[in-house]
Chain A
Amino acid sequence: MVELQPIHEVPESFIKRWIFSGDHKVIAKQFLWAGLLFLAFGGTLAMMIRWQWAYPGEKVPVLGDLFLSAQGGVVTPSTYATLFTTHGLIMVFWAITPLLIGAFGNLVIPLMIGARDMAFPWLNMASFWVFFLSQLMVIASFLVELGGAAAGWTTYPPLSTNVGTPGYGQSIMVAALFVTGIATIMGALNYITTIIRFRAPGMTYMRMPLTIWAMFLTSILNALFVPVLGSAGLLLLFDRTFGTSFFIAGAAGVQGQGDPIVFQHLFWIFGHPEVYILILPAWGIVGDLVSFFTRKPHYWYKGSVFAMIAVTVVSAVVYGHHMYVTGMNPLLSHTFMLLTLIISIPAEVLFLNWLHTMWKGSMQLTTPMLFALGTIFVFGLGGLTGIVLGTISTDIYLHDTMWVVGHFHFTMASASFLAIFAGTYFWFPKMYGRMMDEKLGRLHFAFSLIFITLLFGGQLAAGYGGHQRRLFDPYQYTFLEHLLPLNRAVSHAAFALAFGQIFFVINFFKSLVSGKEAGDNPWNVGTLEWTISSPPPMHNFDVIPTVRRGPHEFANPDVKEALGRDFLYQDEEMPENVEEPQGALAQLA
């Protein structure tokens, strides 16, 4: 076989090796750090929102003196609007996206498919630095005249036009969205090309780990739908800076009317695929981890793959369920309802496959596995609460309440959040060559799962009680006064959740410096990234491996007898006297 992938010399200068590097593993770490920083940033903003709901109008402890000293440490209405807007945007675009897609995508795609690097290393580097630029723009948006972005994460006009948010902060934020979108598209086309063109010999599509499938499908969605947000953002920027009137209507619209609803269409054409963009990588990681840590082949691997493909396709045609209350034609809204409820079928297939994989497996409750189980749990809760939102008759009552907030925080926030940590604990050894501490990890998991459930469960309850989202001081309304004790308790759950993250921070830095040496394969897993040293050399594979089987080859008794271990590497030759079984099910027999 002809070697098709080059081995580049390791650059000697520090800057070329570690800062402006084309090495996918370095870029993954850059995304990891940048994403974790902004995760903490977005979390801090959330704490201030929760404080306002628990103790409206009182001085915010610690954070108030740090960030709000000019206004006496109190959250004012305009600050509050900026808080919930930027919290949402930062978490979606500058925390979850870079972590799940930027960090893990970059790290695992070449390693798991047996490639030496991404298809376009230079583009990969540019993707990170464009993303970094957009992060700087986000920070800048807080510092300009007339305050930061304040139109909600959905950036709906007319709030997001100059009428609703006259400050430069909103314009900079919309521009930052456009810029980070470009970074995402660069990444997506790199991922797609890499997965199509750089799979090692024998790595057929149906032998790819589920994580890779998920990254592949996510990238396709990214490449197709992030540009739609780009178009919406661009036209909104034209409205804000050049005085055009795409989305300006009513008294503010001179010489004819624009249409704010068009923005909602564009936003959700992007926005609904976006929630699957955020959850697909989490599903992929969970799908692999449940198999790895129950020491069983993934149940009905092909079913999981086709379920993810089905979700990807259907996710493009359900966006209207975000807009039931915009006066949509009932025929249209019923179509969207049907499609929305249909999407729960492939999601169920995935869910049952995970449960079936775990069924009667020898479960190893390591930290990554715990986080994967947590992901399954919160995603289940989120999925169930979504059914009533997909149904028109119930959605009309629950629309714009905290129920919606609780629902999407369970699905795309909590599930992605826990999957991010599952991935971090799992691949940290491969990234840095050291294990993370299990005890601290479990403590982190316990805090995370318990309080995340209480936090967003409490939001569901408040929403069911009629608490609209984005209220500055809900208790101004007599019918919501009785929710103060609930919200206060939920806020304390949020503070406990934030406190629990300290264990992760300690663990992360402690393990970086003095973690146990990981060795090549600390988890006894057979995918390609564990066949090489941790951390891998810059060219990953000395010899491009030849793949012989799928990613979840566990529990073959003949292999156990021949090799003394319960798994096979994907590129390993079958030991003598062991027959290659036909398909994963045959191994279970």
Chain B
Amino acid sequence: MSLAADIGPMGKVIKYAPNERRDWNAFLGMVIFLGSWIMLFGGIFLTYGALRARAEIWPPLDMPPLPLDFPAMNTLVIVLSSASLQIGLNGVKAGKTHLLQWGLPVTTVLGTLFIVLQSVVWFDLWQEGLQFTSGPYASVFYAITTFHAAHVLIGLGALLWLSIQSWRGMYTPARYLSIRLWAMYWHFVGIIWGFIFLTVYVL
């Protein structure tokens, strides 16, 4: 149908909202979404805290202690990945698209490295007898780390797609909304990892 005929003399009808406005809306939506997700992880951390508070000994004596070396490396990896993504994002903002075109794949590789290192940790602990069914200590460890890793995997999928898109030249200083939103997501996942590293591995 023709819009002009139905709407009459408006002259102001637009087909798409201005980019700036849509970016702002999406940004706000993302903030609310991450707020929700903080509560989701918050519930899980709360359970961890409650279980640990009522345990007499943590970790239990017959359970293998959690390693620190690989998780510490992973913390470094995730910090670097966040940095490379941010460099890419700042790059595209400033018109240096090549920074984005390299930043995204580097982030993807670092994210993959994170998953690999985390898998080594899981594999070793599983061999040493720390399994899903080994009581609350193992429950907390596996639930938190796997749930977090699932978020990393979703992020990796997105980063891969964004990398391809960036090499196709889809992002310009005027149009890089999805980079911005996924960067927020990625930083969020990184911060959650920081909490996991501190509360699950270090303390």
Contact = CB atoms under 8 A, between A and B. Distances in A.
A7 B39 contact: no
A197 B28 contact: yes
A395 to B, nearest CB: 23
Identify the interface centre among B3, B7, B39: most chain A CB within 10 Å of its CB: B39
A576 interface: no
Contacts of A543: 10, 12
Interface string A252-281: 011111110010011001000000000000
B40 A228 contact: yes
A413 B6 CA distance: 44
Contacts of A4: 14, 17-18, 21
A6 B15 contact: yes
A231 B43 contact: yes
B50 A265 contact: yes
Nearest to B21: A4
A6 B16 contact: yes
Nearest to A253: B135
B32 A231 contact: no
B8 to A, nearest CB: 7
Contacts of B28: 192-193, 196-197
A262 B36 contact: no
Contacts of A231: 39-44, 46-47
B138 to A, nearest CB: 7
A160 B89 CA distance: 46
Interface stretch (A218-226, A343-351, A452-460, A517-525): A218-226
A231 B132 CA distance: 18
Contacts of B139: 238-239, 244-246, 258
A3 B132 contact: no
Contacts of A185: 33, 36
Contacts of B157: none
B133 A254 contact: yes
A223 B35 contact: yes
Interface string B1-35: 10100111010111111100100111011001101
B138 A7 contact: no
A312 to B, nearest CB: 15
Given A197-B24, A224-B39, A256-B60, A3 B136 contact: no
Contact of A230 (B40, B60, B140): B40
B32 A189 contact: yes
Contacts of A262: 46-47, 50-51
B96 to A, nearest CB: 31
A104 to B, nearest CB: 20
A495 interface: no
A406 to B, nearest CB: 30
A223 B43 contact: no
Contacts of A232: 43, 47
A129 interface: no
A64 B176 CA distance: 60
A246 B51 contact: yes
Interface residues of A, number: 53
Contacts of B154: none
Contacts of B35: 223-224
Given A253-B135, A254-B135, A244 B142 contact: yes
Given A3-B14, A224-B35, A537-B6, A243 B25 contact: no
Contacts of B137: 256
Given A193-B28, A255-B135, A3 B12 contact: yes
Given A6-B16, A223-B35, A119 B29 contact: yes
Contacts of B7: 7, 539, 542
A364 interface: no
Interface in B118-172: 132-140, 142-143, 147
A256 B44 contact: no
Nearest to B20: A4
B37 interface: yes
B47 A246 contact: yes
Given A7-B3, A8-B15, A230-B43, 16 more contacts: A2-B18, A120-B26, A197-B21, A197-B24, A227-B43, A231-B44, A235-B44, A238-B143, A244-B132, A246-B47, A253-B135, A254-B133, A254-B135, A255-B135, A258-B136, A262-B51
Interface of A: 2-10, 119-120, 123, 185, 188-190, 192-193, 196-197, 223-228, 230-232, 234-235, 238-239, 242-246, 253-259, 262, 265-266, 269, 537, 539, 542-543
29 contacts: A2-B12, A3-B12, A4-B14, A6-B14, A7-B14, A8-B15, A119-B25, A119-B29, A185-B33, A185-B36, A190-B29, A193-B25, A224-B39, A227-B36, A231-B39, A234-B44, A235-B44, A238-B139, A239-B139, A242-B132, A245-B135, A245-B139, A246-B51, A255-B62, A256-B137, A257-B135, A257-B136, A259-B50, A259-B54
Interface of B: 1, 3, 6-8, 10, 12-18, 21, 24-26, 28-29, 32-33, 35-37, 39-44, 46-47, 50-51, 54-55, 60, 62, 132-140, 142-143, 147
